[in-house]
C-alpha cells in the first residue's frame, strides 16, 4: 500500500513539475516574443534617423553615455558624427539644434516632460519644480516661487552676494596668497562651491552655511554629491528603475534628516528652516524662503523646494566659475584684455562692484557669455516627449510619444551656430557681427538656462554671482594654473564633479 501511494505521489509531482516547466517556458517565450516585437517596432518607427547601432535596440548606449564620466563629450561627439538630430535609444533622440530646442521648450509647446525628470525628485516622497511633470502643477509652483527667485522680495539680495564675495577674497588673501619663492596653490574646485553654497543659503535663509568661514565642506555636501550623483543619473537614463527609489527597502538606504553629514544634513537644515516659517511662533523674513511662504507654498513644499534650490543653485554656478576661470587663465590674450578693463574700471567703481556697473563692461560680459557657451554647466539631457501628432524637423518626422533630449555640449560645439572656431574660447565673438547675428547667438546661449516655460528660475542670481566674482578676483589677484599639464580632474555625469583644480593667486598691485 505504501509503495502504491509513493508511486502515485511521485507521478503527480512529476506531472506537476512538467506542467510548471511548460508554463514557465511559455511565459519566457511570450516575454521574448513581446520584447522582440517591441524592439522591431521601435527600430522601425525611428529608423529614418541616424545614430549608433546599439542605440536603435537598447538603452545601454545612453546608460553608458550618462554614467561613464564623460557625458558632455560623448553626447557632443554623437551629434558631430550623425547630425543635429540623432537617435540615442529605442525611443530616444538627442538634438543640438537651437531652433528645435526653442520649439520644444516654448511657452506654448505641446511637448511634455519625460520620465527623465523623475530622478530629479531629491525628496522621493514629493515632486519639486524641476521634477514635476504635470504642466498645470508645474506652472502653479513656478508662479508661487518666481518673485523670490527674481529677487524682488528678497531684502538686500545684492548685499548678501557681496558679503560672500568679500569672504572669498579675504579667505584667499589671508591663507592662499603666493609670493616669489613661496607658492601656495589652492584647490579652487571645492572653494568655488563653498562660495556658491554660502551665497544661495544666505539668499534663501538670511545666513550662509559657513563654508567660507570654516574653509571646509562643513556639511559634507560636496562629498555626498560626488558619491551619489552618478547613481541619480543612472536612474535618469533608465527611468523604469525609479520604482526602486520608492520601495520601502530602498528608503532605509537613502539619506535621512537624522544623518550628521551629506544630503541628510542638508535635508535636516531645509526641514528646520521651513518649520521656522510656520506655526504660532513663525518667523517672517524677507528672504527667498519667506517669499515662497508668502505666495502659498506649504511647509512640505517649502522644505522640498529649498532643498532643490541649494543643490541646483550651487552646483551649476560653481561649474561656470571654474570652467570660465580655466579657459580665461589659459588664454593669454583674453586674460590680458579683461585685466585691462577691470584695472581701468577699478578706479571708479565700489568694492565689490555693483551688478549694474559690471553689466556695463563689454569685455567682462563677453567673457561670461563665452564661458557659459564653451562649457555649459549642466549636461543632463532634460528630455521632453513629442505630442501625439509628432513633430517635423529638417524634413524628418518625429513620431508622437518620442523622447527628445538636449545635447548642451553638442549645441556649444555646433559649427553651424558658432562658426568653425566653435571649439575655441574666444570672447570676441560676442563683440562682432551684426545686431541680428548677435541676437541669434544670445538666443542660442540662453538655452544654457533652459527656455520658455521651463527656464531656470535662478538665472538672474547666477549672472549676478558671475558678474561680481570674476571682476573681484582679477581686481585683487593675478591668477595662474599651478600645473598646465594637468589642470583639473573633471567628471561629467549630467552635472560636473570637479576637483584638483589647483590655482596660484598672487596679489595685484
Q: What is the CATH number of the domain that holds 418?
A: 1.10.630.10
Q: What percent of the chain has pLDDT over 70?
A: 86
Task: Judge whether 17 lies within some domain.
Answer: no
Reported as a single tens digit per residue, the pLDDT across 34-58 is: 656 666 766 788 999 999 999 999 8
User: Is residue 406 a known part of a binding site?
Assistant: no
Report strand pairing: 92-95 vs 391-393: unpaired
C-alpha dist (Å) from residue 212 to 164, 209, 367, 487: 8, 8, 25, 23
Q: Per-residue pLDDT for 29 more than 70?
A: no
Reported as a single tens digit per residue, the pLDDT across 288-302 is: 999 999 999 999 999
Overall average pLDDT of the 241-268 stretch: 66
Question: Which grid coordinates are listed for 159?
Answer: 548685499
What mean pLDDT is reported for the chain? 89
Task: Judge whether 9 lies within some domain.
Answer: no
pLDDT band at 398 (very low <50, low <70, confident <90, very high): very high
Residue 348 — φ and ψ, nearest 5°?
Answer: -125, -20
Q: Per-residue pLDDT for 244 more than 70?
A: no
Task: Judge whether 108 lies within some domain.
Answer: yes
> Comparing 25-39, 122-136, 242-256, which segment has the lowest mean pLDDT?
242-256
Q: What percent of the chain has pLDDT over 90?
A: 68
Length of the chain: 509
Task: Judge whether 256 lies within some domain.
Answer: yes
- Residue 253 has a pLDDT of 56
Supply the DSSP symbol for 182: B
CA distance 465 to 230: 27
Q: Is the model more confident about 372 or about 62?
A: 372
- Residue 261 has a pLDDT of 66
Task: Judge whether 46 lies within some domain.
Answer: no
Task: Judge whether 32 lies within some domain.
Answer: no
- Residue 186 has a pLDDT of 97
Domain that holds residue 95: 58-507
- Please count the other Cβ atoms lying within 10 Å of the Cβ belonging to residue 424: 13
Reported as a single tens digit per residue, the pLDDT across 66-80 is: 888 899 999 999 999
Task: Judge whether 93 lies within some domain.
Answer: yes
Task: Judge whether 15 lies within some domain.
Answer: no
Number of domains observed in the structure of the chain: 1
Amino acid at each position: 500500500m505504501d509503495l502504491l501511494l509513493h508511486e502515485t505521489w511521485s507521478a503527480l509531482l512529476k506531472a506537476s513539475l512538467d506542467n510548471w516547466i511548460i508554463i514557465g517556458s511559455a511565459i519566457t517565450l511570450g516575454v521574448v516574443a513581446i520584447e522582440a516585437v517591441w524592439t522591431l517596432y521601435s527600430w522601425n518607427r525611428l529608423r529614418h534617423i541616424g545614430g549608433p547601432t546599439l542605440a536603435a535596440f537598447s538603452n545601454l548606449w545612453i546608460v553608458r553615455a550618462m554614467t561613464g564620466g564623460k557625458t558632455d563629450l560623448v553626447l557632443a561627439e554623437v551629434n558631430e558624427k550623425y547630425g543635429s538630430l540623432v537617435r540615442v535609444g529605442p525611443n530616444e533622440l538627442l538634438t543640438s539644434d537651437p531652433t528645435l530646442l526653442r520649439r520644444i521648450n516654448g511657452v506654448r509647446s505641446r511637448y511634455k516632460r519625460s520620465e527623465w525628470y523623475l530622478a530629479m525628485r531629491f525628496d522621493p516622497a514629493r515632486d519639486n519644480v524641476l521634477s514635476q511633470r504635470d504642466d498645470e502643477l508645474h506652472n502653479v509652483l513656478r508662479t508661487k516661487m518666481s518673485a523670490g527667485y527674481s529677487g524682488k522680495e528678497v531684502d538686500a539680495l545684492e548685499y548678501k552676494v557681496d558679503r560672500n564675495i568679500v569672504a572669498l577674497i579675504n579667505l584667499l588673501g589671508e591663507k592662499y596668497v603666493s609670493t616669489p619663492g613661496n607658492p601656495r596653490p589652492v584647490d579652487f574646485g571645492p572653494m568655488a562651491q563653498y562660495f556658491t553654497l554660502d551665497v544661495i543659503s544666505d539668499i534663501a535663509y538670511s545666513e550662509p552655511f559657513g563654508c567660507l568661514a570654516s574653509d571646509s565642506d562643513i556639511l559634507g555636501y560636496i562629498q555626498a554629491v560626488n558619491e551619489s550623483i552618478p547613481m541619480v543619473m543612472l536612474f535618469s537614463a533608465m527611468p523604469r528603475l525609479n520604482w526602486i527609489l520608492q520601495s520601502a527597502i530602498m528608503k532605509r538606504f537613502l539619506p535621512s534628516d537624522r544623518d550628521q553629514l551629506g544630503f541628510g544634513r542638508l535635508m535636516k537644515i531645509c526641514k528646520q528652516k521651513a518649520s521656522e516659517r510656520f506655526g504660532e511662533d513663525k518667523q517672517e523674513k524677507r528672504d527667498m524662503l519667506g517669499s515662497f511662504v508668502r505666495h502659498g507654498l506649504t511647509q512640505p513644499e517649502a522644505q522640498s523646494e529649498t532643498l532643490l534650490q541649494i543643490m541646483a543653485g550651487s552646483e551649476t554656478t560653481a561649474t561656470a566659475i571654474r570652467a570660465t576661470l580655466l579657459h580665461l587663465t589659459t588664454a593669454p590674450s583674453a586674460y590680458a584684455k579683461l585685466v585691462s578693463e577691470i584695472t581701468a574700471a577699478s578706479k571708479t567703481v565700489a568694492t565689490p562692484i555693483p551688478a549694474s556697473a559690471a553689466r556695463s563692461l563689454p569685455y567682462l560680459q563677453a567673457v561670461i557669455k563665452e564661458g557659459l557657451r564653451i562649457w555649459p554647466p549642466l549636461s543632463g539631457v532634460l528630455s521632453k516627449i513629442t505630442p501625439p501628432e509628432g513633430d517635423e524637423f529638417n524634413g524628418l518626422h518625429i513620431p508622437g510619444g518620442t523622447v527628445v533630449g538636449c545635447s548642451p555640449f553638442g549645441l556649444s560645439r555646433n559649427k553651424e551656430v558658432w562658426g568653425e572656431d566653435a571649439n575655441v574660447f574666444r570672447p570676441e565673438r560676442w563683440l562682432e557681427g551684426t545686431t541680428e547675428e548677435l541676437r541669434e547667438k544670445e538666443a542660442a546661449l540662453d538655452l544654457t538656462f533652459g527656455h520658455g516655460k521651463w527656464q531656470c528660475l535662478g538665472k538672474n542670481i547666477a549672472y549676478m554671482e558671475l558678474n561680481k566674482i570674476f571682476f573681484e578676483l582679477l581686481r585683487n589677484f593675478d591668477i595662474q594654473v599651478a600645473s598646465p599639464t594637468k589642470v583639473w580632474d573633471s567628471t561629467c555625469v549630467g552635472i560636473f564633479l570637479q576637483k584638483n583644480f589647483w590655482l596660484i593667486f598672487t596679489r595685484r598691485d
